[in-house]
Amino acid sequence: MGKQKAVVAPSPFTMDPMNNQVIVSTDGSALANPNGAMGWGWAEHVPAGRKPIASTGQDCDCGGASNGTNQIGELSAVLQALRTHRGSYPLLIETDSQYAINCSTKWIHGWKKNGWKNSKKEPVKNSDLIKAIDGEIRSRAGKVSFTWVKGHAGDFYNEKVDDLARGFAEKCRAGEISGYMPYEGWLSLINSDYGREMTMPSDPTQAPRKDDPIFDARQTGFLAADPIAASPVTPDLAPAAPQDAARASEQPVGRQQAAIPQAAPPVGRPKSFGFQDQPLYPDSPQTVTTELVAKLNEATAQFNLAAQRLEAASQHMDQAVAKLDEAIRRFDDSSWDNNHQETLF
Active centre residues (catalytic): 27-28, 74, 96, 152, 162
Distance in angstroms (rounded) separating the CA atoms of residues 185 and 181: 6
- If we measure between CA atoms, which residue out of 52, 95, 49 comes closest to residue 76? 95
51 Cα distance to chain centroid: 25
- If we measure between CA atoms, which residue out of 96, 91, 115 comes closest to residue 16? 91
331 Cα distance to chain centroid: 62
From edge to edge, which strands make up the β-sheet containing 91-95? 60-68, 36-44, 22-30, 91-95, 144-148
Nearest 5°: the CA angle 265, 103, 81 is 25
Task: Specify the pairing of strand 36-44 against strand 60-68.
Answer: antiparallel
Contact between residue 59 and residue 258 where contact means Cβ atoms under 8 Å apart: yes
- If we measure between CA atoms, which residue out of 151, 158, 160, 185 comes closest to residue 66? 185
